[in-house]
Structure 1
C-alpha cells in the first residue's frame, strides 16, 4: 500500500500539470468565470470529462495485490483493476457545474473506464456517474449559502472516493478480490485524490483571483479615464473637448493613435497618422462609416480592414466603438495600433467599457443642456415681461413732468427707452457686459427717483476695468429693485443702496447693500433657496438669480445673503472672471448634427 503512494502522486502530478497549462488558455478561463449557461455547461462536461479519461489512461494497473508498471493503459486484463485519479476531475467539475454537469462528466469518464475492462470496471463506471451526481448536488447546495473553498472540495473529493470504495465492495465479485483490492488502493487513492483536489482548486482559485484583480484594475483605470474626461464631455462632441479627451486616452492607454468623430467628420485625432486623419475633414476610414451605420463595435486586425484611403498609413489594427445618445449613434471612439499584436483582449475590454461610460456622459450632458435651455426659456419669458404698475407709474410721472419740467420729462423718456431696451436685450442674450447691466440699473433708478425724490440715494463703487466683464442679465437690477421696494417702506430716514464691483483671485465680487428694514432670521434661511410667501413679496427673483448662476457657472458662482432687522441687507455674488461657455459649445454641436 505504501509503495503505491509515490506512484499515485506521480499520476496526480500529471493531471495537475495538464490543468495548470490548460488554465493559461482563454477557453478554460471562460469556463471558470462565466455564468453556467448551456454552452458553458457543455464545455465543463467536455473539459472535465477529458480529465477523467486522462486519469483512466494514466492509472496504475493492479494484479493479484501487486502493482504493474505501465506508462499508458490502453486496456485492463479481466482479473486486474486500476488505481487512478478519476474521481478528482469528476468531483471538481461537478462542484463547479452542478448535478447535470456532474452526470455528464461521470458518464464520459465511467463509460471510458468500462471499455478499458477489468473486474472492477462496472463498479468504477457506476461510482463515476453517482459521484458526479452527488458532488453536483452538494455543490449546488453549497453555492446558495457560501463559496466552494479548496478545503470544502477536498472534503467532497474524499467522501466521493470513500463512496467508490464502498461501491466496489458492494458490486464486485468475488468479494474477497474486491476486499483485497480496497485494502491495497483505498487509503492511497483517498489521500492522493484529496491532495490533488486541493492543488486543482488552488489553481482554479488563483484564476478567479487573477481575473478579479485584472477586472478591478481595468475598472479603476476606466473610471480614472472617465473622471479625467468628464469635464470635457460635458461640453459635448466638439473639436476642443474631443481633442482633450483624445490626448487623455493616448496618455493612459497603449494605443498609438486615438480619434473621436461625430456622425459626419473627424473631431480629433492625436498620435500616429495625424497627417491624413485631420480634424475638421470628412471620415478617413471606411471602418468608421461602417460602425456609424451599424452602431456596433468592430475590431480590425489587418490594415485592409481599416479601409484607410492612404496606402502607406502606419496604422495596422483598430477598435472602433459607437458613441450613443438615447440609442442613436452620434459618433465613434477609435483606438489605433501600429501592430495587430498590440490589440490585446485587455485593451478591447477597456475600450468597450470606456465607450459605454462616454455614451452615458454624453447623454447626461445633453440632459443637462436641455434642462438649461428650458430654464433659460422660462427666465427669458419672465425677463420679457415688464411690471405693469411700474410702467403705468412711470408714464404717469412723465406726463406730469411734461407740464412742469419738459426737459426732465424728455430725459425720463430716454431712461424708459433704455429700460425697455435692456429688458429686451436680457431676453435675447445669455451674457451681457457689466456696463450694460449698470445702465439697466441706472435707468430703473432714474424712473423711481423721479417718483420719490429725496427718499433714498444710490452709490456706485465700480472697480475700473470690470465694465467689460460678462455676467448674466438681470443679475443686479432685481436686487436693486428689491431694495427699493422692500427695504424702505414707510421709512422716514434717508435710504441708501450701495452697489459695489471688485475683483480678487480670478473672481468678480458684486454686492448690493442697503440700510433698510432687514429680514428676520426665519425668512433669511430660505431666501434665495425657495419662494417665501409674505406680504412684501415671494423672493422668486432671488431664487431665479441663484439658479441661473449655478447653472451657467456649473456651481462655481457664489451667492450669499446677510441681513439684520432694522439695520439692512447685503447680497454678495461672486462669479469667475473668465467663463468657458460649455452650454454654448455643446448646443452648437447638438444642433449641428440635427
Structure 2
C-alpha cells in the first residue's frame, strides 16, 4: 500500500498537468464556463472521456501483491488489476457538465477500461459508468439549487465514488480472495489519490474562472472609465478638439501605442507613435482605414503590410480599426495602433470593439441632442422674431399724431421705435446678448409706452454696477415689463410702480421685476410658466416661453419663479448662472458631427 501511494501521486500529477495546460487554452475556458449547448456537451464528453483513457493507459498494473513498472499500458494480464485516476476525470466531467457529460465520458472511459482486460475489467467499467451518472445527477441538482460545485464538494464526491468502485470490485470480481487482496492494497491510495487529484483539478478550474471574471471586470471597469471620461467630448461630436482629447484619454487608459479618430473624409486626431506623418486635417494615410470606411466592418492588421501606411519607416506594426456609426451610417473610424503585434491580444480586441459600439451610441445621442437643440433654437428664434402687430400700429399712430403737435418728440420716438425693432432683429439672430443691450431695448419700448400713457405708471431701475456686460438670453426682460404694464394696471386710476432690480448673488445673476398692480389669482400662479393659460387678456405665453427657453439653454441651471397676491402686485425672479460660457460651447460648434 505504501509503495503504491507515491506512484498514484505521480499519475495524479500527470492528469493535473494536462488540466493546467488545457486551462491556458481559451477554447477550454469558454467550454468550461459557458452554459453548455449540444456541441459543447459533446466536446466535454470527449474531453473528460479522453482524461479517463489517458488514466487507463498511464495506470499501474497490480498482479496479486506485485506492483508493475510505470509504463504505457495497452493490454493486461487476465489476473491483473489497474490502479489509476480514471474516476477523477469522470466525476469532474459529470459535476461540471451534468448527467449527459457524466454518462458519455463514463461510457468512453469504462468501455476502454473493459477492453484492456484483467479480472476487474467489468467491475471497473461498471463503476466508471456509475460514477459518471451519480456525479452528473448531483452536479445538476446542485446547480438547480443555485449552488456552485465547490472543490470541497467535488473532493467528497470523488472519494465516495472511488470507495464505491472498491465495493463493486468486491461484489463482482472473482475470485473474491483476489478482489479482497486487491482492495486492501489499492483502496486507500486510490481513494485519497483521486481525492487529491480532484481537489487540484477543481482548484485549477476555480482559479481559471476567477481570472476570467477578474479580467472581464477589469475590462468592463476600464471601458466604463474611458466612456465616463470621453462622454463630455463625444457630446461635442467629432471635432478636431474633441477627438484629440478622446484619443489622449484612450492612449493613457489602454495598451495602444497610438490612437486615432477620423471622420469619413480626414484624420481628426492622432496621438502617440507615428504622429509625425499621421497628421490631423489630412486624408487617412493607411489603406486599412479606407477599407473600413468603405466596408463598415472591423479590420485587424498584424503586419505593416496589412496596415499599408504609405510611409515606409512607419513604426506601427499592428492595428485594429473600427467603424463609428450613427443610425447605421459610417461617420468615421476609431483606430488603435501597436508597435508590436503581440500587444494586440484578444483582450485589447474585445475592449476596442466594445468601445466602438459605446462611442457609436454616444455619437447617436449627441446627434439626437443636437437635433433637439436645433429644433428648440428654431422655436426660440421664431418666438423672438414675433412682434405684436397692435404695438407696431399703436406706435405709428402715436408718432403720426405727434408730428402735428411736437415734431421733435415724434422724431425722438421714431428713433426709439427704430432702436426697438433693431434690437428685436438682432436678438432673433443671437443666443446671448449683453445685459446693457437688453436694457436698451426695454427702455426704447418704455419710451413709446410712456408717451401713450404718460401717467399710468413709473418704472425704477436698480442695476448693480459692472453687470452691463454679462451675457443673457435676449427678450427675457422686455416681455416681463410689458406684462406688468398691460396686466398689472389694466384700469387702475392710481399710478402704478414697476421696479426692475438686477444684482449678483452666489454666482447667479438675479433679475427681479416687481409691480404693485392687481396681482395674479392663486390658481394661475401654479401653472404660469409651466403651461399656456387661457384668459380674457392673454394666455401666459410670454412667461411660459421665457421659462422654456431658460430650461433649454441652461440645462436646468436657470430658474423662473413667480410670487403674487391679489391687489398687492406680482414679483417675477429669474436666476441665471453668471458663468454660462460652458453651457454654450457645445451649442456653438460642439454638437455638429463631422
Q: CA deviation at 1:311?
A: 0.8
Check whether the contact 1:469–1:577 (CA below 8 A) recurs between aligned residues: no
The answer for the alignment partner of 1:366 in structure 2 is 367
The answer for the alignment partner of 1:496 in structure 2 is 498
1:374-393 maps to which residues of 2 (within 5 A)?
374-393=375-394
Check whether the contact 1:79–1:119 (CA below 8 A) recurs between aligned residues: yes
The answer for the alignment partner of 1:585 in structure 2 is 589
Q: Distance in 2 between matches of 1:26 and 1:499?
A: 71
Q: CA deviation at 1:467?
A: 4.9
TM-score with structure 2 length normalisation?
Answer: 0.89
Q: Which moved more, 1:284-293 or 1:100-109?
A: 100-109
Distance 1:13 1:339, change over 3 A: same
Q: Distance in 1 between matches of 2:326 and 2:256?
A: 25
- Partner secondary structure for residue 255 of structure 2: coil
Check whether the contact 2:236–2:592 (CA below 8 A) recurs between aligned residues: no
The answer for the alignment partner of 1:160 in structure 2 is 161
The answer for the alignment partner of 1:96 in structure 2 is 96
Q: CA deviation at 1:540?
A: 4.3
1:420-468 Cα offsets, whole Å, 9 max, x none, are 4444444444334444433432333233223322333334455666555
Q: Which moved more, 1:255-264 or 1:518-527?
A: 518-527
Q: CA deviation at 1:169?
A: 4.5
Q: Which moved more, 1:423-432 or 1:245-254?
A: 423-432
Check whether the contact 1:257–1:337 (CA below 8 A) recurs between aligned residues: yes
1:241 aligns with 2:245: no
Check whether the contact 2:367–2:592 (CA below 8 A) recurs between aligned residues: no
Q: Distance in 2 between matches of 1:526 and 1:145?
A: 56
The answer for the alignment partner of 1:106 in structure 2 is 106
1:551-594 Cα offsets, whole Å, 9 max, x none, are 33444x432526353364141322325344213324543xxx5x
Q: Which moved more, 1:305-314 or 1:442-451?
A: 442-451
Q: Distance in 1 between matches of 2:115 and 2:58?
A: 15
- Partner secondary structure for residue 387 of structure 2: coil
Check whether the contact 1:237–1:262 (CA below 8 A) recurs between aligned residues: yes
Distance 1:161 1:478, change over 3 A: farther
Q: Distance in 2 between matches of 1:401 and 1:171?
A: 128
1:360-415 Cα offsets, whole Å, 9 max, x none, are 21111111111112222233333333334434444444444444444434443444
- Runs of 5+ unmatched residues, structure 1: none
Check whether the contact 2:525–2:564 (CA below 8 A) recurs between aligned residues: no
Check whether the contact 2:562–2:572 (CA below 8 A) recurs between aligned residues: yes
How much is the aligned-residue C-alpha RMSD, in angstroms? 3.0
Q: CA deviation at 1:18?
A: 2.8
Q: Distance in 2 between matches of 1:263 and 1:383?
A: 37
- Partner secondary structure for residue 581 of structure 1: helix
- Partner secondary structure for residue 215 of structure 1: helix
Distance 1:390 1:174, change over 3 A: farther
Check whether the contact 2:462–2:499 (CA below 8 A) recurs between aligned residues: no
Equivalenced residue count is 587
- Partner secondary structure for residue 563 of structure 2: strand
1:432-581 maps to which residues of 2 (within 5 A)?
432-461=433-462, 467=468, 469-491=470-492, 492-500=494-502, 509-517=509-517, 527-531=528-532, 539-555=540-556, 557-561=557-561, 563=563, 565=565, 566=568, 568-575=570-577, 576-579=579-582, 580-581=584-585
1:35 aligns with 2:35: yes
TM-score with structure 1 length normalisation?
Answer: 0.89
Q: CA deviation at 1:276?
A: 1.2
Q: Distance in 2 between matches of 1:169 and 1:421?
A: 109
- Partner secondary structure for residue 254 of structure 1: coil
1:326 aligns with 2:327: yes
Q: Distance in 2 between matches of 1:243 and 1:394?
A: 55
The answer for the alignment partner of 1:231 in structure 2 is 232
Check whether the contact 1:80–1:119 (CA below 8 A) recurs between aligned residues: yes
- Runs of 5+ unmatched residues, structure 2: none
The answer for the alignment partner of 1:252 in structure 2 is 253
1:469-519 Cα offsets, whole Å, 9 max, x none, are 5433323223333333344455524312315265x88x5724133133556
- Partner secondary structure for residue 260 of structure 1: strand
Q: CA deviation at 1:333?
A: 1.0
Distance 1:62 1:359, change over 3 A: same
The answer for the alignment partner of 1:307 in structure 2 is 308
Distance 1:223 1:523, change over 3 A: farther
Q: Distance in 1 between matches of 2:177 and 2:67?
A: 18
Distance 1:163 1:480, change over 3 A: farther
Distance 1:36 1:311, change over 3 A: same
Q: Which moved more, 1:208-217 or 1:176-185?
A: 176-185
Q: CA deviation at 1:283?
A: 1.2
Distance 1:536 1:145, change over 3 A: farther
Q: Distance in 2 between matches of 1:97 and 1:536?
A: 79
- Partner secondary structure for residue 238 of structure 2: coil
Q: Distance in 2 between matches of 1:201 and 1:455?
A: 92
Q: Distance in 2 between matches of 1:231 and 1:448?
A: 47
1:149-228 maps to which residues of 2 (within 5 A)?
149-169=150-170, 171-228=172-229
